[in-house]
Chains A and B, each alone.
Chain A
Amino acid sequence: MEKLKAFRDRGIAQKLVEKIKGEARTLDGEIRIMHVCGTHEDTITRSGIRSLLPENVKVVSGPGCPVCITPVEDIVAMQLIMRKAREEGEGIILTTFGDMYKIPTPMGSFADLKSEGFDVRVVYSIFDTYRMAKENPEETVVHFSPGFETTAAPTAGMINAVVNEGLENFKIYSVHRLTPQGIEVLIKQKSKIDALIDAGHVSTIIGVKGWEFLSERYGIPQVVAGFEPNDVLMAILLLIRMYKEGDARVVNEYRRAVRYEGNVTAQRLIDKYFKVVDAKWRALGVFPGTGLELRDEWRELDIKNIYKVEVPKDLPDLEKGCLCGAVLRGLAMPTDCPHFGKTCTPRHPIGPCMVSYEGTCQILYKYGVLF
């Protein structure tokens, strides 16, 4: 849209950078701004924002890649469910998103499972899974469903349609996670986060309102930002000012797609179908109150309740030497990892952060900052 031009205008970008530099000069020490969104990381890396910022303004990426933090145990459990179903003479069609498909585990990926002859299909939307379930009434169709609130909402919406229509062969495996609650755990673990750029489309669902408790409880300023370079620069400028003034609020820079109250229909649907549980974040540990599981009333929609499997204990989260855990906490950049760009590339990824389009390692590799 014509209207969106201002968000990419170079002249405005330069002015924003100058302003940021001016504000940073009178900053006491440094400011660490965390964002939690693969698309923000993409914007920041693609437009070289880090190289434009003064030394004492650090923008770090948090665990904004849902596929990266999806536990090894769940990927393995889903694989075991496929095997068990086959042993029992039943076929399952498994669907998931393209980047989830390739995520490695010590027991292989979904892509490996496919090469063994299992029916695994990559989808763009859970709506595709629903259509497959309708077209294949004799088979069970399961969506392995990762993602934050932005993706949990479509899942809830699809389940609602499935329940209303009485479609019985549609199931899910939920590995959905809650973003602000996840960040709260990082804050409690004493990660140094001075300010937050809030994920744009997570905010579309949960609203400005969904982030406010972080400012209230921990005095952290936040800006809900869009995905153009100037959205991010504007967020950084506002956050430095707010930080200096001790102004701990949530400012909505992305008003074009985010309402204060968020998408209430989506929130109601998520709440109707899901309950909040403690959940593991791969390479980060178990975060209390950050996962979404289907409520007991909908247990027959949950493939885990149909096939019980036992996942081997002590599966390592990451290959030796992979720094994905530190990358997801914003403590390391991919370039700190000796594998980066050498033994670990998108074609031959060692860790999840190199597989996903939203992974910090893949994004940096893609834009070739190093090469």
Chain B
Amino acid sequence: MCLAVPGRIIAIEGKTATVDFGGVKRKVRLDLLPNVDVGDYVVVHTGFAIESLDEKRALEILEAWAGVGKFLEGR
């Protein structure tokens, strides 16, 4: 199943990262997401990081959802 909660990279060794999912640490492969750094949040599927959540995109989300309120009032 899809882990919807992203984890944070706390260490990188070669093609493997240690990712912290709110206290639970797992080894995660970086083959599909080579350009990440310690501190980045990543979405993980079956032991592989498949996407990162960068700050700009995180803000985009917040803006989109702040807009939701307005969107719900209107029309």
Contact = CB atoms under 8 A, between A and B. Distances in A.
B40 interface: no
A306 interface: no
A157 B49 CA distance: 11
Contacts of B65: 6-7
Interface residues of A, number: 47
A201 B48 CA distance: 12
Q: Say what secondary structure dominates the interface of chain B.
A: mixed
A12 B51 contact: no
Classify the interface of chain A: helix, strand, loop or mixed. helix
Contacts of B34: 265
A174 interface: no
A255 B61 CA distance: 7
Contact of A128 (B47, B60, B64, B69): B47
Contact of B50 (A19, A227, A266): A266
Interface in B18-73: 27, 29, 31-34, 41, 43, 45-48, 50-51, 53, 57-58, 60-62, 64-65, 68-69, 72
Contacts of B47: 124-128, 154
B31 A157 contact: yes
A358 B46 CA distance: 14
B49 to A, nearest CB: 10
Contacts of B15: 161
A255 B2 contact: no
A1 interface: yes
A125 B4 CA distance: 17
A257 B51 contact: yes
Given A3-B62, A258-B51, A263 B1 contact: no
Given A6-B68, A19-B72, A269 B27 contact: no
Contacts of A266: 32, 50
Contacts of A79: none
B4 A269 contact: no
Most buried by B among A38, A201, A204: A201
Contact of B48 (A153, A200, A227): A153
A3 to B, nearest CB: 6
Interface string A168-209: 000000000000000000000000000000001100110000
A4 interface: yes
A308 interface: no
A290 interface: no
Contacts of A126: 46-47
A160 B31 contact: yes
Contacts of B57: 255-256
A226 interface: yes
B1 A38 contact: yes
7 contacts: A4-B5, A126-B47, A127-B47, A150-B50, A153-B45, A256-B58, A263-B50
Q: Which 10 A-B pairs have the closest CB atoms?
A: A125-B47, A157-B31, A154-B48, A227-B4, A256-B61, A39-B2, A15-B72, A127-B47, A266-B32, A6-B65
